[in-house]
Structure 1
Amino acid sequence: METMLKIGGVAVAAALCAVLLKEKAGPFALVVALGAAAMILAMALGAAEEVTAVVSELQTMAGLSPAVVAPVLKAVGISILTHLAVQVCKDAGEGGLAAAAEAAGTVLALCAALPLLRAVLDTVEELL
């Protein structure tokens, strides 16, 4: 909760600065927004480490293979990064670039999930 309040404050302050800068110095507005985004991601990194630790603990408790858990985490990471890239491209007015980034993210997430599909198929094959 406390971290989200800080993140919200940074986001609102940066958005206000970007709006004011757009009128007089357009390119700097994007730089301010990107800087704020980097700061927000750094602030959220601690939470990501906690999530990774809990997932690792659950993996151990459930006896899951890393071949099952790793692809899911990779696909989630790719999804988050793709979403951020798409939004930055849209904010910069580059809709075509945003669409390309979105398509690439989709393909890469599918590629990251392939080992999971292989593990499922291997399990089904063992059952038959």
Structure 2
Amino acid sequence: FALLTALATGVLLFLQICSPLGELLDMLRQMAEQAGVAEGYFGIVLKVIGIAYLSQFASQLCADAGEGAVAAKIELAGKVLIMAISIPVLTEVLHVVLTLV
């Protein structure tokens, strides 16, 4: 029952923070527009943050269930996904650095 309780608690907490999270995302989107950040890059950053939180949550659930090996694999998968998604941003940063040199 402990695993189900942890999962249910996590889902309920997520549902409670959805409204404030939406407001926060709107504020961040406005700030990104004012700073001149391209919409595509902002979307990538949001995806990276989402993957980080979801993989951490899933990893902690597995660790609570006594599945440490599975938790480690989930963390690794999250890191690989983050690297794959952030390639356009890394490429642009590298391009900017190389044009400065």
Q: Is TM-score (shorter-chain normalized) higher than 0.5?
A: yes
Q: What is the match of residue 97 of structure 1?
A: 70
Q: What is the match of residue 11 of structure 2?
A: 38
Structure 1 residue 34: deviation in Å? 1.0
Q: Displaced runs of 4+ in structure 1, greater than 4 A?
A: 125-128
**Would you say the 8 A contact 1:87–1:98 is kept in 2?**
yes
Count of aligned positions: 101
What is the TM-score of this pair, normalised by structure 1? 0.71
- Counterpart code for 2:76: A
Q: Whose radius of gyration is greater, 1 or 2?
A: 1
* Distance in 1 between residues matched to 2:17 and 2:63, nearest whole Å: 22
The answer to which structure, 1 or 2, has the higher relative contact order (CA under 8 A, 6+ apart) is: 2
Q: What is the match of residue 40 of structure 2?
A: 67
RMSD: 1.6
Structure 1 residue 126: deviation in Å? 5.0
1:52-93 Cα deviation digits (max 9, x unpaired): 101110111111112332222111111111110110000100
Structure 1 residue 125: deviation in Å? 5.0
* Distance in 2 between residues matched to 1:122 and 1:43, nearest whole Å: 41
**Would you say the 8 A contact 1:79–1:109 is kept in 2?**
yes
* Distance in 2 between residues matched to 1:67 and 1:122, nearest whole Å: 17
Alignment partner for residue 113 of structure 1, among 79, 86, 95? 86
- Counterpart code for 2:59: V
- Counterpart code for 1:41: F
Percent sequence identity is 35
